[in-house]
A and B are shown apart, each in its own frame.
Chain A
Amino acid sequence: MRPGDPGHVCFIGAGTMGCYNALLASLAGYDAVIYDISRETLFGVPQTISAMGAQMVAAGLQDTDAVEVAKSRIATQHDLTAALYGAKLVSESIFENLEVKRELFADLDGRCRSDVIITTNSSSLMVSDIEDALGDGSRFAALHSHLGAMLFDIVPGPRTAPGTTAALKEYVSNLGGISLVLNKENKGYVFNAMIGPVLATAMLQVIDGAASMEDVDRAWMKRTGSPMGPFGMMDLFGTALIYDSWKHRPAMPDQPLMDLMKRKVLSFLAPIVGTGRLGMKSGHGFYTYPDPAYSRPGFLNGYPETSGADYALTSAWTQNAALIAANDVAEPHDIDRAWIAATRQAKGPFAILDDIGLERALTLFAVTGPLAGIENIAKVSGCLLGKLGEGCPGAAGGKGFYDYPEPAYAEAGFVGGGAI
């Protein structure tokens, strides 16, 4: 499935992710067709694509000519039959409604030739929720991209053919991306399953009055070396996206604490989103743009290396990473690679756990509480205790999730390209 082969990539849904994925494909030389049921949404596609292209140019990731050529490879189509005609790969990214998605995939299954690969870009629905809507599950998988990062999760379903997974890995490689093939499905895949709890913890720190927004971001920037903290990230992702992801979480009457957290977070986000503070793209979110406070010199001056906010954020991050590994969704090194690929930070969560020391990390988890869910305490602890049992206490002891003094994550090419 190389660029230039006959056939195009069809993107169903002209929202942010549909446009972003179409632009990535066209930049790699694929022809792209974006379909949407709404003519109005389709009408906005050229503007959205241009804005995304301009952002890539401004960030030094693409040059203007390449973006212009890529834009010429993208077509829009309001007729689904016409959009699918001749497609070799279909990528769905409509809004997150299971019933609507299942109807769509049943329809796509009937319309597409048997050699067409069909994928979902869904962030919150599971492959297993969707895949039995298709008669032919061998050509279906999740292919999940991340806005602003070249990391792609590939999640095969129970019927996905090995050839389908291989073709998707090749496609991602042709995009210049890094694919992470999950051993099994996981809510939020890998990156979102870690960043989501970090963002939630950041908001709860502020909501509960434990720290200011700026101090939460300072804590994260100090710990990870990232150019922005959780609130800057939410501005980057778009505050409406974060709001929607919480809004559409199902109610959990049997878990009142989760429902309370949902209410707190939505009460916090609603005044932001409801007053049009949509993040970087609107010039105003938690910060004002351009020139947000966190990017100004001196923002971190005087802020301590560790703080309550740091403990909470680091604990949420690493506990959820440990849970992903404990659930055998991906290996610790792959989880770190995925994190580094998505964030361009120097270290992933397991390298950070090594830095902290695994015994001390267990103490940290005990102090901050079960931030990967109370039902997962044993799994999270077990991940670290297993390593300790192997005589791997962390970086100070010369061995942890990595071997020191020359850990693999510090080697050139650790993240690399292609598949993880």
Chain B
Amino acid sequence: MPAHFGARYTGPNTSGWYRDVTAMVVPYVTDRTKLAALLPDGFEPAEDPVISVYYACNKQIDWLAGRGYNMIGVNADVIYNGEGERLAGTYALVIWENLADPILTGRELQGIPKVFADIPDHSISGDVWRCNASHFGHAIVGMEISALRAPELEEIAAAQKAKEGQDNPMGWRYIQKAGAPDPALDEYTTFPSENHLSQIMLGEGNVDWNRLTWEQNPTQFHIVNALEQLPIVEYRPAMITRGATNLVLPQRPTRVLR
């Protein structure tokens, strides 16, 4: 949209490559039942009910003519049990981004649940990396990773093995009919991407969810509070990465789940 002007320009330099991505990921085990309650029909938490809160500082983005933006998202490890397929992967509960363009395209084209927030670049103070998101001047979430170390080769190999067959990010593309409560569009999607990591550090993570009122964040307080209600049972090793990401894979395009 706006549809009457035609589709967004695509050309030789508008690939899906994000050439310089710095990311922080803090995974933790949560309560299985409470997580299940947030998932739509057809999805169940994975055997290990892990939530991953991640931040990405995206720079040199081809389709934005070299510009960038920041994001903080929340993924849940899930299994999709559809009528036509069963898929292990992650379900995007929400992604905050600080730029309208990727929010609109991500929601419209892929069904990724994106909303806006102010997300400054991460800070590095000594050995501690920090990032945060806020909206209407009120904090949503803060995250930090400390006690950094290089990964062992065995950890890299194990992570690679664990990812095999599980690299399936999923979302819910849902648009309500105009003037009616029924959906005009209601489909589950998967939107694979490709990451080339050039640097990995492991550490100890911490996530600090805020609790908000309608007055503080009228459009998102229910999202933030729902996530704040998911207990942090146990942190898993946190990770800081640098590398490049490609969001458009011709061999694995975005598709509707069966």
**A interface residues (Cβ-Cβ under 8 A, vs B):** 206-207, 209, 243, 262-268, 270-271, 273-275
13 pairs, A vs B, C-beta closer than 8 Å: A206-B198, A207-B242, A243-B153, A264-B199, A268-B199, A271-B156, A271-B199, A271-B243, A273-B156, A274-B151, A274-B157, A274-B160, A275-B160
- Chain B residues with CB under 8 Å of chain A are 20, 148-153, 155-157, 160, 197-201, 242-243
Q: Which of A209, A264, A266, A274 has the most chain B CB atoms inside 10 A of its CB? A: A274
Residue in B closest to A286 when the chains form the complex, CB atoms: B198
Having A263-B150, A270-B156, A274-B160, one finds 4 other A-B pairs with CB under 8 Å, namely: A206-B198, A243-B153, A267-B200, A271-B200
Contacts of B151 in A (CB 8 A): 267, 270, 274
Q: How many A-B residue pairs have CB under 8 A?
A: 42
Q: Given B20, B148, B200, B243, which contacts A270 in the complex, CB threshold below 8 Å?
A: B200
- Chain A neighbourhood of B153, CB < 8 A: 243, 270, 273-274
> In the assembly, what is the distance between CA of A243 and CA of B156, in Å?
14
The answer to whether B198 touches A268 (Cβ under 8 A) is: yes
Give the complex CA separation of A38 and B156 in angstroms: 26
Q: Is B150 a contact partner of A266 (Cβ separation < 8 A)? A: yes
The answer to whether residues A270 and B160 also contact, given A206-B198, A207-B199, A263-B201 and a CB cut-off of 8 A, is: no
Give complex CA distance A363, B238 in Å.
42
Task: Across the A-B interface, give the 3 residue pairs with the lowest CB-CB distance, nearest first.
Answer: A274-B156, A266-B150, A267-B150
Q: Contacts of B150 on A, CB cut-off 8 Å?
A: 262-263, 265-267, 270
Asked if B199 contacts A263 (CB within 8 A), the reply is: no
Nearest CB of B to A283, in Å: 17
Whether the pair B160, A267 counts as a contact (CB closer than 8 A) is no
> Which interface residue of A206, A262, A270, A271 has the most chain B CB atoms within 10 A?
A271
Bound Cα distance from A348 to B238, whole angstroms: 45
Q: Give chain A residues whose Cβ lies under 8 Å from the Cβ of B155.
A: 274
Closest Cβ–Cβ distance, residue B215 to chain A (whole Å): 41
A271 contacts B149, C-beta separation under 8 Å:
no
Q: Provide the residues of chain B in CB contact with A209, threshold 8 Å.
A: 20
Chain A neighbourhood of B149, CB < 8 A: 263
The reply to whether B148 and A271 contact each other, CB–CB distance below 8 Å, is no
Query: Shortest CB–CB separation between residue B238 and chain A, in angstroms?
Result: 13
Please, how many angstroms separate the alpha-carbon atoms of A268 and B199 in the complex?
4
A266 to B199, CA, bound (A): 9
CB of B60 to closest CB in A, whole Å: 11
Q: How far is the CA of A267 from the CA of B197 in the complex (A)?
A: 10
| Complex alpha-carbon distance, A362 and B197, angstroms | 37
Roughly how many angstroms separate A243 CA and B197 CA in the complex, as a whole number?
A: 16
Smallest CB–CB gap between B27 and chain A, Å?
18
Closest to A270 in B: B151
Name the A residues within 8 Å of B243 (CB-CB).
271
Chain A residues near B197 (CB, 8 Å)? Answer: 271
With most chain A CB atoms within 10 A of its CB, the pick from B20, B148, B243 is: B148
Output the nearest chain B residue to A206 by Cβ-Cβ distance.
B198
Q: Given A271-B156, A273-B153, A275-B160, are A263 and B148 also a contact pair (CB < 8 Å)? A: yes
In the bound complex, residues from chain A placing their C-beta under 8 Å from that of B160 are: 274-275
Task: Tell me the complex Cα distance, A275–B200, Å.
Answer: 12
Chain A residues, CB < 8 A from B199: 207, 264, 267-268, 271
Q: State how many angstroms separate the Cβ of A206 from the closest Cβ of chain B.
A: 7
What's the least CB distance linking A209 to chain B, in Å?
8
- What's the least CB distance linking B24 to chain A, in Å? 14
- Give the docked Cα–Cα distance between A265 and B149 (Å): 11
Alpha-carbon distance between A59 and B116 when the two chains are bound, in angstroms: 58
Q: How far is the CA of A273 from the CA of B149 in the complex (A)?
A: 16
Q: Which residue of A lies closest to B160 (CB)?
A: A275
**Once bound together, how far apart are the Cα atoms of A262 and B155, in whole Å?**
18
A273–B155 alpha-carbon span in the complex (Å)? 12
Q: Once the chains are docked, how many angstroms separate the CA of A267 from the CA of B129?
A: 15
Cβ of A266: which chain B residues have Cβ within 8 Å of it?
150
CA distance in complex: A268, B150 (Å): 8
Q: In the complex, what residues of B have CB within 8 A of residue A275's CB? A: 156, 160
Q: A268 — which chain B residues lie within 8 A by C-beta? A: 198-199
User: Once bound together, how far apart are the Cα atoms of A209 and B19, in whole Å?
Assistant: 12
Contacts of A263 in B (CB 8 A): 148-150, 201
- Please name all residues of chain B whose beta carbon is closer than 8 Å to the beta carbon of A270 when the two chains form the complex: 150-153, 156, 200
- A271 and B157 contacting across the interface, CB-CB below 8 Å: no
Nearest CB of chain B from residue A159's CB, rounded to whole Å: 39
- Closest Cβ of chain A: how far from B146's Cβ, in Å? 13
When the two chains form their complex, are residues A271 and B198 in contact, meaning their CB atoms are under 8 A apart? yes
A338 and B203 alpha carbons, distance in the complex (Å) = 42
